[in-house]
Amino acid sequence: MIPVKAAAFMFLFFLVIAIIASITPCSAAKYAEITLEPTFLSDGRLKVKVKLRVNGNIFEDSMILSETKFCPREYGYAVFTLRHVLEKYYSKLYKHTIKIAVNVPKDYIVISPIFYRYDLDISYSNEYTKYEVEVDYSDFSKFVFYEAYIVGLAEVISIYDGELFKVAFTNDVPKSFVENIIDAYSKGIKMLINYLGHSPLQPRVVIISGPNHHKLYPEGHAGTFAGSTVYLKLFSSEAYGLEWYVKNLYHEMAHGWFTWPIIYGDFVVKEGGAEYVSWIITRILYPDLFRKYDINNIKYRVKNKEDYATAAIKYMALNCSLVHVSEKYGKSFNIFDYIRYIIDKYHYSGKEINWDDFIGSNLREFLAEHVSSSEASKLQSAIAYGFLNLDIKYYGTWKYFDQYQLIKRIDEFLMEGAYETVTVTITETATVTTTVTDTVTVTRTYTTTTTETVTKIQERIEKEIHPITYVVSISAIIALTISIIMLKENKLD
């Protein structure tokens, strides 16, 4: 016989087990399955059959891509995202773990950056190849839903299988060009990660199309799908050299960070960031190509006040200011530390950052991590004021082109780590003087009246114009002087 106490205990024990068992099915992750079957129709259009299994229901649908607004498609070669084929079912997937399967006939090639981020299962049957990955809802809703699948017939496209990335290219793209892009990617990705840290959307797939493919894109089109896939379409003209492609490859690769929801900003924040980073990386990795690109393209763009170039100059100027501040306080930070700070702070929230916030409250918080908060506040408003100065003063009275040359020179010194030799001092006499390593002296005249003493002028300068406010403009003057010297020595075009 079982004693009463033991029986009561066993009853309780089984009751607890029963309760746990009844809870478990509810607390387990909910699964959903998406199966995609892309095929080309005989008239050349891409059809994607979609099967969705979720919450005990099955939905079947199909989408013909050329009937949507989505454009990169043609016979034998297309690009699409889940967003284009699954938008109306999106809400049903809320908080599910999602298995995504892509099923293609044997003579098809399919690649996607998501295949290289998650565990990929590939299975083969007589006629089909099936690619499967499983992603959690957070990754699905923030990244995977917007990422590219490239589908092609083996006779139209080929794949280069790199360790960290893949290149899909149409068979008319010269092999030597593909090799150059592989080389540029391999060098560039290391530098991007080094400067900006890892990003969930860092590019893993590069697509290169010959000029006769994807007719709805113009020749020379460069773009990105969600940051993780870079798209390049070649020019038929040989007038565009490797410098054009490498620089644009780096711009699009930088969108692996300057994209929703990593750094999601207004035009200056997002495009200026990607453009600035592409200049820096091209300049460091391919100095000769950068020089060519600069002479043939950037100069023209700057002269024409093109938005991307202007926005990149703002990043350059911000870097000048940050390095100057960092030096002044015996610290060591630059624009890339600030960008990483922003990425950490927003933590993939997808919240939009405009340029005013970028050089406003965010900058103040960043500086407060390095100097006292009252100093940070002063420095931030001085830098923001410097930008007003940059916009109004130089847009009006300086040639835009000069402005770029100036800031570029100083930025080069900073990025090359030579900034210890560039010192800016303002002597508060009736004249404001800036000096660079004793070899260059530039004078700014500070207007005064005869009744004012030097001390009073000093007070005015301190009070009205924080010295840091001058950083952007002073950097420009220093750089101008240096570039004039270099011009004389024929070192600068």
Residue 231 CB, nearest distance to Zn ion (Å)?
12
269 forms part of the interface with Zn ion (CB under 5 A): no
Token pair in block for residue 42: 């005989």
DSSP 8-state code for residue 269: I
DSSP-based three-state secondary structure for 250: helix
Tell whether omega for the bond before 261 is within 30 degrees of 0, i.e. cis: yes
Q: Which of 19, 33, 229, 37 has its CA nearest to residue 134? A: 33
Q: Is the Cβ of residue 204 or residue 251 nearer to Zn ion in the bound state?
A: 251
Size of the site for Zn ion (CB under 5 A): 2
Q: Which stretch binds Zn ion (CB under 5 A): 69-77, 182-190, 272-280, 323-331?
A: 272-280
| Minimum distance of Zn ion from residue 298's CB (angstroms) | 15
**Closer Cβ to Zn ion, 208 or 249, answer by number:** 249
DSSP string, 62-105: EEEGGGSS---EETTEEEEEHHHHHGGGGGGGTTEEEEEEEEEE
Which of 231, 286 has the CB closer to Zn ion? 231
Specify the long-range contacts of residues 331-335, CB closer than 8 Å, at least 24 apart: 331/370, 331/371, 333/370, 334/414, 335/276
Rg (CA), the chain: 29
**What three-state secondary structure class fits 275?**
helix
200/223 with CB nearer Zn ion: 223
Candidate segments 15-23, 100-108, 132-140, 273-281, binder of Zn ion by CB under 5 A = 273-281
210, 173 contact by CB (below 8 A):
yes
Q: CB of 305: closest distance to Zn ion in angstroms?
A: 18
Give the range of 30-38, 135-143, 164-172, 271-279 binding Zn ion by CB under 5 A. 271-279
Residue 144 vs 274, nearer CB to Zn ion: 274
Shortest gap between Cβ of 251 and Zn ion (angstroms)?
A: 6
Which C-beta is closer to Zn ion: that of 260 or that of 333? 260
Mapping DSSP to helix (H, G, I), strand (E, B) and coil, where does residue 21 land?
helix
Q: Write down the least CB distance from residue 57 to Zn ion, Å.
A: 40
- Candidates 26-34, 51-59, 274-282, 350-358; binding stretch for Zn ion (CB under 5 A): 274-282
Q: Which pair of tokens denotes residue 185?
A: 């990617």
Q: Which is nearer to Zn ion, 138 or 354 (CB)?
A: 354
Q: Which is nearer to Zn ion, 151 or 274 (CB)?
A: 274
The residue range among 265-273, 286-294, 413-421, 423-431 that interacts with Zn ion, by the rule CB under 5 A, is 265-273
Q: Angle, nearest 10°, between helix axes 307-328 and 400-415?
A: 40
Nearest approach, Cβ of 275 to Zn ion (angstroms)? 7
167 binds Zn ion (CB under 5 A): no
Binding piece for Zn ion, criterion CB under 5 A, among 267-275, 345-353, 438-446, 452-460: 267-275
- The answer for residues whose C-beta is within 8 angstroms of residue 429's C-beta and 6 or more apart is 454, 457
Q: How far apart are CA 492 and CA 490, in angstroms?
A: 6
Residue 227 C-beta: closest distance to Zn ion, Å: 10
Cβ(145)–Cβ(90) under 8 Å?
yes
Least separation in angstroms between residue 201's CB and Zn ion is 14
3-state secondary structure of 233: strand
Q: 10 Å Cβ neighbour count for 275?
A: 27
Q: Are 252 and 308 in contact (CB under 8 A)?
A: no
Q: What are phi and psi of 203, to 5 degrees?
A: -65, 135
Question: Which of 274, 363 has the CB closer to Zn ion?
Answer: 274
How many whole angstroms separate alpha carbon 446 and alpha carbon 432? Answer: 6
Among 120, 150, 151, CA closest to 135? 120
Comparing CB distances to Zn ion, the nearer of 247 and 408 is 247
Classify residue 469 as exposed, middle or buried by CB count within 10 Å of its CB (0-12, 13-18, 19+): buried
Query: Least distance (Å) from Zn ion to the CB of residue 255?
Result: 6
Smallest gap from residue 412 Cβ to Zn ion (A): 23
Residue 82 vs 254, nearer CB to Zn ion: 254
Nearest approach in angstroms of CB 222 to Zn ion is 8
Q: Are 414 and 276 in contact (CB under 8 A)?
A: no
274 binds Zn ion (CB under 5 A): yes
Region from 266-274, 351-359, 439-447, 451-459 binding Zn ion, contact rule CB under 5 A: 266-274
Q: Which residues bind Zn ion (CB under 5 A)?
A: 271, 274
